[in-house]
Chains A and B, each alone.
Chain A
């Protein structure tokens, strides 16, 4: 019987019913434009403000520091381009890392074409930046450090507090792409010294197409979207009221149940990692062994290619992800995997299993039952495997 095991929560998550229930009236009954002064408008505005309050509380931020966007990518673009343009008279140097999400990397590359300079920091084998290299990269021209909170592929959580301290000491703004971290680990923007942080609703069981940017009060930033006076004149466009309401509810639920969520995810994650390592030879765990997201499993399975693995898993009802080039339509495998030092063969054979609240112990058992024979089947077909076959059979 075909199971239905979803293990791609880092890609997106299913919406929880209570979140959808809270959103529904704002499509049909309370449909006012929050900018309108009549009662319909006031109802919507109140709902948006409630969501803003909820998000702010989860981050230990002020409600006036939360700005809604059309998703995490927009928030990243706004943070980077907005700060760059606002502070270009002060300096034109930005520091980021080589394993950022494309929303950050491509925004930085765009700015390079506009005359900005960008330093792309190396990462170590676990995906961590070197804090000394960060310090040495800061110049009098540096205006922004943008380093992701947690990596979307390998789950490595950066030393955010230390980065925040370095940025503060040197008078440089610190933006972090918190899309993967938000809802999965506690985040206190005051304690961590974060000036700007991007987050997204659909990674924590909320709707797609809604995000937010935390902007510390007093931070100079230009708007990315020009138009009306919404979001305190900083992000124009009629608010996605149902989406924002859903985001608020998702944030509330995520942080009310955070401790239990973390414990469950870590238990399931470690069971998955240990199970894979024990049953399949020639597997490498990607990402930091302990400084990683609670629900992230990323392994490279030698001698096989990621897309074949994903297709085979899908045929037995398991939805996963890979950093293989063949799933992305590009020539090169994941820039993250290449930058942590993997060979092309290992990067092509990557498998990401990202866990979430609806996963069960039985589902992990099911994956651990189905994965080894799939690997065996694909390896039997692989000309790379035959070279060391004798060695593997003796393992």
Chain B
């Protein structure tokens, strides 16, 4: 059901944990749908210098969180805002269709953390104009097919 990469990231998730005094923290999902992702970002000079995550969710939720942290490390905020759920899923050699919502959640968690950073620092990113971190993050129906 899962690719070797998904299982690798599930078994050995990268960047698990919290960052004290993080520059941006975002949490999406809800326990009702069984997935919650929380991202912590350290941002220096518009660059992601450190990232950690915590996830309550299935194997795919853990793997997509882990992969997303690897993909944004060392990138600029603007580059990170281009991250799509599809790219996260592709980097994991694909996800079962029913699990694509996990990759959506990973993308949204990253955006929520940057949104928090922008709010705290009075910054504006066009890519976040339509983003509302308080949306009900139940992304089961918001699936971009592979």
Cα-based distance from A105 to B32 in the complex (angstroms)? 23
- In this assembly, does A307 line the interface, its C-beta being within 8 Å of a C-beta of chain B? yes
User: Which of B31, B34, B36 is within 8 Å of A326, CB to CB?
Assistant: B34
Stretch at the interface among A67-75, A91-99, A169-177, A378-386: A378-386
The complex places the Cα of A345 from the Cα of B36 at a distance, in Å, of 11
**Among the listed stretches B8-16, B78-86, B112-120, which one makes contact with chain A, having 4 or more residues with CB under 8 Å of it?**
B8-16
Which residue of B is nearest A343, CB measured? B31
Interface residues of B in 1-38 (CB under 8 A from A): 2, 7, 10-11, 13, 16, 18, 27, 31-38
Nearest chain A residue, comparing its CB with the CB of B10: A311
Please give the distance in Å from B35's CB to the nearest CB on chain A.
Answer: 8
User: Residues of B contacting A304 with CB < 8 Å?
Assistant: 56
Judge if B67 is at the interface, Cβ distance under 8 Å.
no
Any A CB within 8 A of the CB of B61: yes
Q: B75: CB under 8 A from chain A?
A: no
Smallest Cβ distance from B125 to chain A, in angstroms? Answer: 24
Complex contact A305–B10 (CB within 8 A)? no
Question: Are B56 and A307 in contact (CB-based, < 8 A)?
Answer: no
Whether B34 and A381, one on each chain, are in contact in the complex, defined by CB atoms closer than 8 angstroms, is no
In the complex, what residue of chain B is closest to A331 when comparing beta carbons? B140
**Which chain B residues lie closer than 8 Å to A305 at the CB level?**
34-35, 56-58, 61
Q: Annotate A290-313 by CB proximity to B: 1 below 8 A, 0 otherwise.
A: 000000000000011111100100
Q: Which residues of B contact A348 (CB under 8 A)?
A: 31, 34
> Residue B74 at the A interface, CB < 8 A?
no
Q: Tell whether, in the assembled complex, residue A344 and residue B38 are in contact, meaning their CB atoms are under 8 Å apart.
A: no
Measured between beta carbons, the chain B residues less than 8 angstroms from A380 are 16
Evaluate contact between A381 and B16: CB separation under 8 angstroms: yes
Question: Known: A307-B58, A307-B59, A382-B55. Contact between A331 and B33, CB under 8 A?
Answer: yes
Q: Provide the residues of chain B in CB contact with A325, threshold 8 Å.
A: 33-34
Nearest neighbor of B57 in chain A, beta-carbon distance: A305
Q: How far is the CA of A272 from the CA of B61 in the complex (A)?
A: 29
A residues within 8 A CB of B62? 308, 381
Question: How long is the Cα–Cα vector from A99 to B37 in the complex, in angstroms?
Answer: 31
The A270-320 residues at the B interface (CB cut-off 8 A) are: 303-308, 311, 315
A14 to B35, CA, bound (A): 34
Give the residue name and chain of the A residue nearest to B13 (CB). A381
* Choice from B7, B10, B32, B56 contacting A384 with Cβ under 8 Å: B56
How many A residues have CB within 8 A of the partner chain? Answer: 26
Contact residues in B for A381 (Cβ distance below 8 Å): 13, 16, 54-56, 62
Chain B interface mostly helix, strand, loop or mixed?
A: mixed
Instruction: List the B side residues contacting A329 at CB < 8 Å.
Output: 98
CB neighbours of B140 from chain A (8 A): 331
User: Contact: A303 with B33, CB < 8 Å?
Assistant: no
Tell whether, in the assembled complex, residue A324 and residue B18 are in contact, meaning their CB atoms are under 8 Å apart. Answer: no
- Contact in complex: A386, B16 (CB < 8 Å): no
Are A383 and B34 in contact, CB atoms less than 8 angstroms apart? no
A384–B36 touching, CB < 8 Å: yes
* A243 proximity list for chain B (CB < 8 A): none
Q: Given A305-B57, A308-B59, A383-B55, are A333 and B34 also a contact pair (CB < 8 Å)?
A: yes
CA distance A67 to B128 in the complex (A): 64
Interface residues of A in 60-113 (CB under 8 A from B): none
Query: Which B31-58 residues have C-beta < 8 A from chain A?
Result: 31-38, 54-58
Give min CB distance, B29 to chain A, whole Å: 9
Across the interface, name the chain A residue whose C-beta is closest to B38: A383
Q: Tell me which of A311, A344, A345, A386 contacts B18 (CB under 8 A).
A: A386
Nearest residue in A to B34 (C-beta to C-beta)?
A348
Q: In the assembled complex, how far is the CB of residue A317 from the closest CB belonging to chain B, in whole angstroms?
A: 14
Q: Which parts of A127-174 form the interface with B (CB within 8 Å)?
A: none
Given contacts A331-B33, A345-B31, A380-B16, whether A311 and B56 have CB atoms under 8 Å apart is no
By a beta-carbon cutoff of 8 Å, the part of chain A in contact with chain B is 303-308, 311, 315, 324-327, 329, 331, 333, 343-345, 348, 380-386
Extra contacts besides A324-B34, A383-B38 (13): CB < 8 Å: A305-B35, A306-B58, A307-B59, A308-B58, A308-B59, A325-B34, A326-B34, A343-B31, A344-B32, A381-B56, A382-B54, A382-B56, A384-B56
Q: Which 3 A-B pairs have the closest CB atoms?
A: A326-B58, A307-B58, A383-B54
Q: List 30 A-B contacts (CB under 8 A).
A: A303-B56, A305-B34, A305-B57, A306-B58, A307-B58, A307-B59, A308-B10, A308-B58, A308-B59, A308-B61, A315-B11, A324-B58, A326-B60, A329-B98, A331-B33, A331-B140, A343-B31, A344-B31, A348-B31, A348-B34, A380-B16, A381-B54, A382-B55, A382-B56, A383-B38, A383-B54, A383-B56, A384-B36, A385-B56, A386-B54
